[in-house]
Amino acid sequence: MDTPTLIAVNISEGGIPKLPLSKGRVTESGLAGDGQAHAKHTKPHRALSLLEVEIIEQLKSEGYDVSPGALGENLTVKGLYGRVAAGDRLAFSGGVVIELSEARKPCFVLDAVDPKLKEVTVGRLGWMARVVTPGEVSPGETITVSPGNPAGPA
């Protein structure tokens, strides 16, 4: 099994696509410089969004033009697909720690890529997370998973 790894750190002024950074500053409210187009995203338990690159690869094989950041995730990761659940904590090798709070749900914003994505990504759009330990993250960092107990939205 692959060692879980951070593939990309992505931001935008709001909406999609989010574009890659060489490193990002994670605060308790999310990724510095990342704009949120909708108020529903500005809650502590929804500070960051995370998507597994394996899902992006599935969608590409199904004919969708997607890449890291195209579906609006802040962190694109590898090696976590099917291996994590709400409440799990992810510790990045640079020191940042996040806790998965809930599965991401598709919304109309995905229409900018393809209107069918709202349906085909149900149950496979990654996670929302709260920040436990702020700091900097960079692509290439490894990730350690600690099983947790979901506390629900903060």
Q: Domain containing 126 — which CATH number?
A: 2.40.33.20
Q: What mean pLDDT is predicted for residues 67-87? A: 96
Q: Could you report the per-residue pLDDT of 88-121, keeping only the tens digit for each?
A: 999 999 999 999 999 999 988 899 999 999 999 9
Residue 68 belongs to some domain of the structure: yes
Residue 101 belongs to some domain of the structure: yes
Buried b / exposed e over 12-26, threshold 16 CB at 10 Å, is: beeebbbebbeebeb
pLDDT: which is higher, 45 or 9: 9
Residue 153 belongs to some domain of the structure: no
Residue-range definition of the domain harbouring residue 82: 5-146
Residue 152 belongs to some domain of the structure: no
Residue 151 belongs to some domain of the structure: no
Helix spans in 3-152 (H)? 53-61, 117-120
Residue 29 belongs to some domain of the structure: yes
Q: Would you state the pLDDT for residue 154?
A: 47
Q: Considering all CA atoms of the chain, what is the largest pairwise distance in Å, rounded to the nearest integer?
A: 38
pTM of the model: 0.92
Residue in 24, 73, 30, 23 with CA at minimum distance from that of residue 52:
73
The count of domains in the chain is 1
Q: Could you report the per-residue pLDDT of 26-76, keeping only the tens digit for each?
A: 999 999 999 865 555 567 889 999 999 999 999 999 999 999 999 999 999
